[in-house]
Chain A
């Protein structure tokens, strides 16, 4: 069985695509956050750190209170807190947004390990019991559809939530007044300001939202897909989500398509015992795919016009 043959065989199994969708959702949530944040004009590369923070606090809360819903709430808020830090540093202090984003990621990485040490000593973080993880829900009737039933309707509750959020984000950004203002602020903040729109509030809201979404992704990762916290467990997903956002031209559905592609790569890797290639080479797959995808975008993508520029009122 050649490796390529293995892969092709795999592509026809529903299991693979079920895993693809789940992996895609782990990328989609931070990607949506990135879209919202950058549409408002704030560059956000801190999704990695916000997700990791959400994952950590989700596990801690679940182990402490044995309530997965409460824990997920904590995870979301933890992500939101990191987002708030990025927002304050970038918007209020007009710091360079990329440096701030990287600082958040380093901060999250260091803080989580430091707290693991403080709370659990030098042992591992404990494992969350099966019943206290985010549940998988089979939607009755629909889940019996051959092939698609397994892929679409036998998923974790977070996957359904993410798909709803996907549609919601699209509608809000492109159909509502709020979305119009968010986009205005990202394209031409002076115009929005002179039209009486509060540039700062909208940007804060957008960045904090990206934190909340990343926190939810962290919860899915730590107390949904897995059952514990491992340092650095986000593995670059936050950065891949960035690439997805760029590939999707800063639109929710566009990003989703990119997330599916990356998710496919991850799902294939998860089956590496079936495919006979060194697991280490396979691990490169998501990152190489990202590079190829980015290389293929021949200057077509343009971000919002004011993306990354701190807004100074009264300047031209």
Chain B
């Protein structure tokens, strides 16, 4: 079914391109080249394309997890972007401030710092939801904007700026950098380019570990059991003695930590500093599509992350070669989302999206009204 959704989306996308006077084949071959290094016609280096794709994929895996975990609790984490940026900011701040510390100390510090910042960012939304019932869709989106403006403040005229007039931060210390998978050696030539050009870094392993941890947490632990129970039936969870409010907060904290981790890995592995590149970043939003397309499973998330990472890498080539805006990728993403959503019929979410203290039962009918009759009654007539 997810595969069908993807195919359908591509077909509709081709129609949109054709209708507006573009060439869908050129567009898609550009995507294919940029994403997978296959069929490149503009002289691009296939290995480089694959490497670029992988760099995109890495944060998508972890942020995909950051969205998928709260889904299981019945929460929509639209704030993965803001949480990731919070992680980036923390990682950079720590990496700059303590830049002289050696790697075995500094690297864990920046990664943990990123996780903490992300957890804090998501925790605010979690606490608001658990105590006041504030809808997490609105609060996480607000926090996204706050994070983005904070980022601008920090590196444009603010404390992390490297030099006046630029919009970049100081670089993080060498100890905070994640090693690349290929040695950064200019004399080593791989597929026609010096090895240092390939930016694939060990963060890939960390991201995969995060996905595995997510699966373990959700299916093999009592906490994961309780998270799923809360997401499926708050009343049953309360009956079981689970504190719904506490579970919501813990879930958001963990999710934020995953996003923050993604941000920290990104800085530590790729950029080594903050810059305006992240003003228009959309990883956290892509993560929503990743989580949904991946059907909330670790393996699915990794596969979906590969798809969307490839699409984004492909977008740049598509724009250069076929002259079609990279934003087509978002159109495709939205089409995939529609496709999935229309098939899922509320399986993902069971909560009514509204407010109200989590601890109170909604008194809809008078207390004496009988409950639903048992399942032996015929099921409702299929539409």
Contacts and interface: CB of A to CB of B under 8 A. Distances in A.
A binds B: yes
Interface of A: 43, 45, 85, 89, 93-100, 102-104, 106-107, 109-118, 236, 239, 242-243, 246, 278, 280-281, 283-284, 287-288, 290-291, 294-303, 305, 307-310, 312-316
| Closest CB pairs A-B (n = 4) | A110-B330, A107-B334, A117-B325, A303-B354
A200 to B, nearest CB: 11
Interface stretch (B106-114, B126-134, B168-176, B203-211): B126-134
Contacts of A243: 138, 142
Contacts of A113: 325, 327, 330
Nearest to A249: B355
A278 B76 CA distance: 32
Interface of B: 16, 20-22, 76, 78, 124, 128, 132-135, 137-139, 141-143, 145-146, 149-150, 152-153, 156-158, 285, 288-289, 292, 324-325, 327-335, 337-338, 340-346, 348-349, 352-357, 360, 362, 364, 372-373, 380-381, 383
Contacts of A316: 372-373, 380
Given A103-B337, A297-B355, A303-B352, 7 more contacts: A85-B338, A96-B344, A106-B333, A111-B16, A112-B327, A299-B133, A302-B356
Contacts of B324: 114, 117-118
Contacts of A117: 324-325, 327
Contacts of B20: 114-115, 118
B139 A294 contact: yes
Given A45-B137, A94-B346, A310-B345, A107 B335 contact: yes
Main secondary structure on chain A at its contact with chain B?
Answer: helix
Contacts of B142: 236, 239, 243, 287-288, 290-291
Nearest to B351: A308
Given A278-B158, A295-B132, A297-B134, A99 B348 contact: yes
Contacts of A114: 16, 20, 324-325, 327-328, 330-331
A297 B138 CA distance: 14
Contacts of B150: 280, 284
B368 to A, nearest CB: 17
Task: Pick from A89, A99, A246 the residue with the most CB of B within 10 Å.
Answer: A99
B355 A301 contact: yes
B153 A109 contact: no
Nearest to A111: B331
A278 B353 contact: no
Contacts of A100: 337-338, 341-342
A94 B355 contact: no
A236 B79 CA distance: 13
Contacts, number: 196
Nearest to B288: A102
Contacts of A287: 142-143, 145-146, 149
Given A106-B285, A118-B22, A239 B138 contact: yes
Contact of A95 (B138, B344, B353, B362): B344
B353 A97 contact: yes
Contacts of B352: 303, 307-309
Contacts of B289: 106
Contacts of A118: 20-22, 324-325
Given A102-B78, A110-B331, A94 B345 contact: yes
B134 A283 contact: no
Given A113-B325, A278-B153, A283-B149, A106 B128 contact: no
B348 A239 contact: no
B383 A312 contact: yes
Given A102-B337, A281-B149, A312-B380, A109 B327 contact: yes
B143 A291 contact: yes
Task: Pick from A106, A283, A305 the residue with the most CB of B within 10 Å.
Answer: A106
Contacts of A112: 327
A299 B132 contact: yes
A45 B139 CA distance: 13
Contacts of B285: 106
Nearest to A282: B149
Contacts of B346: 94, 96, 309-310
25 contacts: A85-B338, A89-B338, A95-B343, A99-B337, A99-B340, A100-B338, A102-B78, A106-B334, A106-B337, A107-B334, A109-B327, A114-B331, A117-B327, A118-B325, A236-B141, A242-B137, A242-B138, A278-B157, A280-B153, A290-B142, A299-B133, A299-B357, A301-B133, A307-B352, A316-B372
